[in-house]
Amino acid sequence: MTQYLSTNVSKVTTNLLRKMRNEGEKIAMLTAYDYSNARLLDQAKIDVILVGDSAANVMAGYKTTLPITLNEMIYHASSVVRAVERALVVVDMPFGTYQGNSKEALASAIRIMKESGADAVKMEGGVEISESIDRILSAGIPVMGHLGLMPQSINQYGTYTVRGTTEKESEKILNDAQILEQHGCFAIVLEKIPADLAKKVTDTISIPTIGIGAGPHTSGQVLVFHDMMGYSLQFSPRFLRRYHNLSKEIIDSVSNYINDVKTCEFPNEKEQY
C-alpha cells in the first residue's frame, strides 16, 4: 500500500491538511450523514468527512438543500461523530442559520460543535460572511469556506449550471477566496467552476482548495458518497465518477429476498431456533 503523509496519523487535523497541500498530497473528502457509512469511510482512511447539507436531498428527498434544519444537521453530525476516530469531521451550517448576522452565525456554530462533537463547520459565501467567519473563529471553531456553485443560493440563480464562466463572476470567486483566506478559513470547497479558474484560485491562495466539478488542480476532491456509490443513476453530472452500482445491487438483493420469502426458501432449517 502506498504510504502518504496522512496514512499513519491517528487523527486528521486542519494543520495536517495544510501540510498535505504544501507537500502536494491530495486531500480526499466524502460526505456521510449516518453512523454506519461514516464508520466505513473512516476505516477506509478518508481524510475528511463532510456532513453536508446535501443530506436534505440524499436523506430527506427535498429538491434543494434549503429546508434542512439545524437540529437535523446536528442529528446527522452526531451520528457521524460517534462513528469516526480518524477523519476530520466538517459540518455544513444549514441555510438560514448564519446569513442573518454574525451573532446568530456564532450561536449556530456553537450548537453544532457542542451538540455533535464535530471538528469544524462549513459555510457558503464570500465577503458577505466575512464578519461571521471572524466571530466563529474567535470562539475557536475552524471554518471551511464554499465558493462557486452554492446550492443554498439556488433561488438567486435558478439553475445548478457551472459558475465563474463570466469575467465578473470569476473575479468575484477569486476575490472571495482571498477574503476567506484572510479571514482565517482553513480550506475552501470550490464547486462546479472551470478547471482553469480553480487552478488560478488554488495557485493564488495558500490554504487548501477542495474541488467538486472543479478539475484536477485543486488541493483535494470531494464527492457526495451516495452519488459516487451509484445509489441513484438519475443524477449524472459530468464531474461524477461512479465507483459502484449500488442501486442495482440493492434492488437485486431485495428482489431475491422477496422471492425467497414468497417461495418459503427463507428462513431455512439453519436460520431458525
Quick check: bond before 151 cis, omega within 30? no
- Based on CB atoms, which residue is closest to ligand KIV, 156 or 268? 156
By beta-carbon distance, which residue lies closest to ligand KIV? 52
Which phi-psi region, left, alpha or beta, contains residue 226 (left: φ > 0; alpha: ψ -120 to 50)? alpha
- Based on CB atoms, which residue is closest to ligand KIV, 54 or 265? 54
DSSP sequence for 219-241: SEEEE-HHHHTTS-SS---TTPP
- Quote the radius of gyration of the chain (alpha carbons, Å): 20
- Residue 249 annotated as catalytic: no
Length of the chain equals 273
- Based on CB atoms, which residue is closest to ligand KIV, 52 or 194? 52
Residues that bind ligand KIV (CB under 6 A): 31, 50, 52-54, 92, 189, 191, 212, 222, 224
Q: Which residue has 465577503 as its cell numbers?
A: 127
Count Cβ atoms within 10 A of the Cβ of residue 107 and give its class: 0-12 exposed, 13-18 middle, 19 or more buried: middle
Min dist CB 256 to ligand KIV, Å, is: 32
Say which of 85, 131, 191, 265 is annotated catalytic.
Answer: 191
How far, in Å, CA of 94 to CA of 106, rounded? Answer: 13
Min dist CB 166 to ligand KIV, Å, is: 22
- Based on CB atoms, which residue is closest to ligand KIV, 35 or 160? 160
The DSSP H or E segment spanning 190 is: strand 187-191
Min dist CB 150 to ligand KIV, Å, is: 9
**Which positions are annotated as active-site residues?**
191
